Structure 1
Amino acid sequence: MNRFVIGFFAALLLLGGIWLFINNKNEEAELQANSSMIQQQIQQVGKLIVTEAYYSQVFTYKNSQKLFLNLVSADKKALIVAKAKATVEYDLRQMETEIDPENRTVRIVKIPDPVVNVYPEFDYYDVSQDFLNQFEGKDYNKIKSSITDQFRKKIDESGLKDDAQDRLMSELLNIFILTKSLEWTLVYNEKVIENEEQLIGSTR
């Protein structure tokens, strides 16, 4: 009888050990599979997001120099039609993340700042210049710099950056949705992201 009881419990312990071993293996395999899915999603997100807009404006450039003890005025002026392509870029290939399978956590360590590019083109009309005050390279550089700065102000006042932010959010939401569905935790700025609104607020 004692041998039977001992054998019975020994068999239970053996079966329990086998079950725990298989269960742990299954859990490890699941964690590995989930980690791979998340890593794949992050790689898909890791791309260059470009939002474009086009601007145009007419500018007038004038310059006057007083010569010969201010007795003579030498003038130059031009009408400039400026067009510009503007882009706001998020290079998510530079995004830094950490995956912690043991704690089922994904940390977004760094999101790159947006880069604003302006590509202006200029057409000059009604150019007039006196012999003693003619257009030079420094004039064209000054015009280009001034107009580019004005286009940048237009970009800041427009919704282009907001549009780029929305596109960024749509990519980050893919990571959040996947981690949520796998019952993992997404962390950004040392905060656990519980919902979409919290993610949006943390990136603005």
Structure 2
Amino acid sequence: MTKYTGILSFIFGIILTVFLFLSWRSCNKKEDAALINQDYYLITNQIQKMNKMVVLEQDFSSFQTHKSSAANIAGFDILPREMVLYTTAKAQVSYDLKQMKIDVDTVNKKLILQEIPQPEIKIFPDVKIHFMDDYAINRFTQKDINGVMESAKKNMAKSVNQNNLKEQSKKQLKDNLNDIFVLAKALHYSIEDKTNTFPATEL
């Protein structure tokens, strides 16, 4: 009887040990899964907060001069007239971050930038007459003034260096995405940029 009791105790001990091990392993898996789900939620929630946003604004200004005359005889302007315009422009660079595609790889703990939308550039020029000099018989008509002002607006818009704006907007974009990057790094995620928007050394 004692022999069988010992064997049964031994078998029961093994079963109990296996049961406790499986229970512990199951609990650990559940905890790991909960942590992964929590990480995923925190990062994706931060991403979803991103919206279309203006990331860069710059102001430009210049003076433009328009000269014309009623006629030119022997190199001399007859009844010359002149208009000096003060032109300004506000340039905005924005990204529609709703179109941004970021994958959260919870297995390999990676935040992967799959797609970043192209920057949208808008330029809002404005023109004011700073000085105007004409003759009573060679006046600027309202049509002339409107044409000169419209031309000045176009010239102002063309003078804005859009390539330079795009480069500067990348730096500002990274600053705006920094909340996501900092959170990912705090959760021990590496950041991989498949769009080649940012140098790897900056991530």
The secondary structure found in structure 1 opposite 2:49 is helix
2:153 matches 1:144: yes
State the shift of 1:93 in Å: 3.2
1:116 to 116, 121, 132: 121
- Work out the CA distance in 2 between the residues paired with 1:136 and 1:183: 62
Residue by residue over 1:37-89, the C-alpha shift from the partner in whole angstroms, topping out at 9 and shown as x without a partner, is 1112223344513322322211012356879xxxx979664211112222222
Query: What residue ranges of structure 1 are gaps of 5+ in the alignment?
Result: 200-204
Structure 1 pair 54/198, CA: closer, same or farther in 2 (3 Å)?
Answer: closer
Point out the more displaced range, 52-61 or 181-190: 181-190
Query: Who is 1:126 aligned against?
Result: 132
Q: Deviations over 1:106-146 (max 9, x none)?
A: 21112223333221111123154847997275554333212
Letter matched to residue 116 of structure 1: I
Q: 1:50 aligns with which of 55, 58, 69?
A: 55
Give the one of 156, 169, 172 matched to 1:167. Answer: 172
SS of 2:36's equivalent?
helix
Please identify the structure whose Cα radius of gyration is greater. 2
Q: Distance in 1 between matches of 2:36 and 2:166?
A: 38
Q: Which moved more, 1:87-96 or 1:134-143?
A: 134-143
Work out the CA distance in 2 between the residues paired with 1:80 and 1:181.
54
Cα shift at 1:100 = 2.3
- What letter is aligned with 1:149? K
Partner-residue secondary structure (3-state), 2:144: coil
Equivalent in the alignment of 1:198: 202
Amino acid at match of 1:23: N
TM-score, with length taken from structure 2: 0.74
Which sections of structure 2, spanning at least 5 residues, go unmatched?
1-5
CA contact (8 A) 2:64 2:152 kept: no
Hey, what's the Cα distance between the residues in 2 that align with 1:162 and 1:156? 6
Q: CA-atom RMSD, angstroms? A: 3.4
Which secondary structure does the structure 2 equivalent of 1:135 belong to? helix
Q: Distance in 2 between matches of 1:161 and 1:45?
A: 20
Q: Amino acid of the residue matched to residue 142 of structure 1? A: S
What letter is aligned with 1:112? P
SS at match of 2:172: helix
Written as runs of structure 1 = structure 2, the 5 A alignment for 1:68-147 is 77-124=82-129, 125-126=131-132, 128=134, 130=138, 135=144, 138-147=147-156
Residue deviations 1:4-32, cap 9 Å, x none?
A: 22111111111111111111111111100
Q: Is the 8 A contact 2:54 2:92 kept in 1?
A: no
Residues 132/9 of structure 1: CA separation in 2 closer, same or farther (3 Å cut): closer
Deviation digits for residues 145-199 of structure 1, max 9, x if unmatched? Answer: 122212x13x656xx65654333222333222222221222211178x9x98332
SS at match of 1:180: helix
